[in-house]
Amino acid sequence: MDRRMHLVGKVALVTGGASGMGCGFAEALLKAAAKVCIADINVETGVATESDLRQQYGHENVMFSKCNITSATEFEAVFKRTKEAFGGIDIVVNNAGIGGETDENWEQTVDVNMKGTLRGLRLAMYYLSVEHGGRGGCIVNVASMTGLNPNPLSPVYGCTKAGIIHATRCYVVSEAAKKSNIRLNVLCPAFVDTPMFRRLAAGDATQTIGGDQTAVTAFIERIGVLSTEEVSVALIDILTDETRNGLILRCAKKTGNVYSTLTVQDV
């Protein structure tokens, strides 16, 4: 039996799609002939990305929708708009996220990464579910290797990413996912060359709880840095291979792509 999900004509919503990894994901989906809504808080970059992608992949296949994922109203409006414009939603990539560990910004990191992603996950479950007019599909949540490996420089960020991993695992075993044939997986990249990463690499003091930048640089050199195209290949593999469900996909420059589950202990 063919277990590939063909992406031609499929409709995807990608949060944080204006730049960085999200923009790479949008482009990879468009190359596979899907239709994409990029949702992002940054209107200027979002409109520019929309225009660029429209020129390359067709006006009718791309839309930008302004959305702050911390706003329930804005986020729900994006789902509605995408469904109206493209006739349904098959794929949701909850990718938008920020770094930030200072006394002033750490709660914002929780609001965006944890609450925002949970909001996107809940909306995706609703809009993909058959009982609410959906047609099943695939949800990919973007966490990070820091959600699995402890990192002293970014405990809050790491916690939000661990939360995203666990939330994904919980929804995977839900009746709602099974009833509507919704697959859920979580992507855990190590460093990827994006504006967010470049801020960290440049020593932006608002991104970590501080420390020796020489050590950060050495750490980055040891781990290596992926391109957005390399992470996009991982995303497309998750989407197209319908046997992929409930999985954590670690992506790192030196180790490549490694799928796993977390062990569940019998109690």
Ligand X SMILES: CCCCCC(=O)/C=C/C=C\C/C=C\C/C=C\CCCC(=O)O
**What residues are labeled active site?**
157
If binding is defined by CB under 6 A, does position 248 make contact with ligand X? no
Contacts of ligand NAI in 135-174 (CB under 6 A): 142, 144
Could you list the beta-strand ranges (E) of 30-160: 35-40, 62-66, 91-94, 137-142
Which of 7, 37, 41, 78 touches ligand NAI (CB under 6 A)? 41
| Minimum separation from the CB atom of position 251 to ligand NAI (A) | 8
State yes or no: residue 200 binds ligand X (CB under 6 A).
yes
Looking at residues 183 to 222 of the shown chain, list those that interact with ligand NAI (rule: CB under 6 A): 189, 191-192, 194-197
99 binds ligand X (CB under 6 A): yes
Q: How many amino acids of this chain bind ligand NAI (CB under 6 A)?
A: 30
Q: How far apart are CA 51 and CA 72, in angstroms?
A: 27
Q: Rule CB under 6 A: is residue 106 a binding residue for ligand X?
A: no
- Nearest residue to 187 via CA among 243, 237, 129, 127: 237
How many other CB atoms sit within 10 Å of the CB of residue 4? Answer: 10
- Least distance to ligand X, CB of residue 106, Å: 11
Cα dist from 23 to 62, 72, 195, 198, 247, whole Å:
12, 23, 11, 16, 23
CB neighbours of 227 closer than 8 A, spacing ≥ 6?
A: 192, 193
User: What DSSP element (H or E) covers 185?
Assistant: strand 182-189
70 binds ligand NAI per the rule CB under 6 A: yes
Instruction: Locate 127 and state its tokens.
Output: 């809009």
d(CA 38, CA 34): 12
Identify the residue among 65, 160, 207, 232 touching ligand X (CB under 6 A): 207
Helix (H, G, I), strand (E, B) or coil at 14: strand
Residue 208 found at the interface with ligand X (CB under 6 A)? yes
How near is the Cβ of 10 to ligand X at its closest, in Å?
A: 27
Task: Give the DSSP letter string of 91-108.
Answer: EEEE-------STTTHHH
Partner from ligand X, ligand NAI, none contacting 21, C-beta within 5 to 8 A by type: ligand NAI
Among 14, 28, 142, 153, the residue binding ligand X under the rule CB under 6 A is 153
Q: Which does 129 bind (CB under 5 to 8 A by kind): ligand NAI, ligand X, none?
A: none
Contact by Cβ (8 Å): 10, 90: yes
Q: Does 190 bind ligand X (CB under 6 A)?
A: yes
Cα separation of 229 and 221, whole Å?
A: 19
Least spacing, CB of residue 233 vs ligand NAI, in Å:
15
> Is residue 37 within the footprint of ligand X (CB under 6 A)?
no
Name the site residues for ligand X (rule: CB under 6 A). 99, 144-146, 149, 151, 153-154, 157, 190-191, 196-197, 200, 207-208, 216, 219, 223
Name the site residues for ligand NAI (rule: CB under 6 A). 15-16, 18-22, 40-42, 45, 67-70, 95-98, 112, 116, 142, 144, 189, 191-192, 194-197
